[in-house]
Amino acid sequence: MDRIDFTGRVAIVTGAGGGLGRLHALALAERGAKVVVNDLGGAVDGSGGSASAAQQVVDEIKAKGGEAVANGASVTDFAAVQAMVQQAVDQWGRVDVVVNNAGILRDKSFAKMELADFRLVLDVHLMGAVHLAKAAWPHMVAQKYGRVVVTTSSTGLYGNFGQANYGAAKLALVGLMQTLAIEGARHGIHVNALAPTAATRMTEGVMPPEVLAALKPEAVVPAMLVLASEQAPTRAILCAGAGTYEAAHITLTRGLHLGLAPDTPERLLAALAQVTDGAGQSVPQSGAAQADNEVTQALAAR
């Protein structure tokens, strides 16, 4: 097998001062990438900040013979993110890979959650990824090459108690990925989502110790390297944890044409098991597939 190689590539990794982000940055550098190590240096809830976390990772990379620079921008600040991308371009002439890893947690049940905490989690996870993609996009279009990795979560895909804000942000990132992949295809830009399960400071209070021991964060990194590589797929949701790798899909069932009549609500309720039956379901290539399926069945029923 050909080795995944990033020689000559420039990568930006957000939230790279510790945890998964640090491992992502180290792995990219070990395989030849020049890396902008971004981290605000805040706590898990997003409070505080320090440039030392990012600089320590840069020092690790340089000690191993790699090239890296530190950046302490908050991903919620678009101007600062634009400056970070320009920093990469000024330093190395291009930007090839962006790994959106920055995130915070403000967990509470929805009934007790303050709206400010809901908005901030969306701002960091979703808008942080939007800001970096928006800033890097013109450079990737110009060079006809780019790899964008967003970090989703099983909470976004399937839900988790006490994480309505986090789940909303993480599934929104999948929606962002789907459309950016479509728009980036003709420019050589591949966009994918990574759903990690790992023992980090963001999960240490969520999972029991024996489970955390099995979930070494290093086991997530291979999936990131694949999604960031020249050989990367596009529009994939790749899940990774404990050395196991899966793919998640948002599917569309074949459904059932019922027409429109006064009793359609009752007939739909009675047929709901058939409508939701997964047999013959598909993974649409775009949102237009839903309308195509609906209109095709309607015309066939005439």
Look up residue 286 and give its two tokens. Answer: 């775009």
Using the Cα atoms of residue 205, residue 211, residue 216 and residue 221 in order, give the sign of their dihedral: negative
Please, are residues 197 and 239 in contact by the beta-carbon 8 Å criterion? yes
3-state secondary structure of 282: strand
Bridge partner list, 16: none
The one-letter code for the residue type at 180 is L
Catalytic residue among 145, 158, 166, 245: 166
Rounded to the nearest angstrom, the gap between the alpha carbon of residue 101 and the centroid of all alpha carbons in its chain is: 7
3-state helix, strand, coil in the chain (%, to 5): 45, 15, 40
Give me 196's structure tokens. Answer: 């990690």
Beta-ladder partners of 35? 11, 68
Element holding 97 (H helix, E strand): strand 97-100
The type of residue at 177 is M
Structure tokens at 191: 């966009």
Strand partners, 238: 194, 247
Element (H, E) at 246: strand 244-248
- Asked if 245 is an active-site residue, the reply is no
Annotated catalytic residues are 166
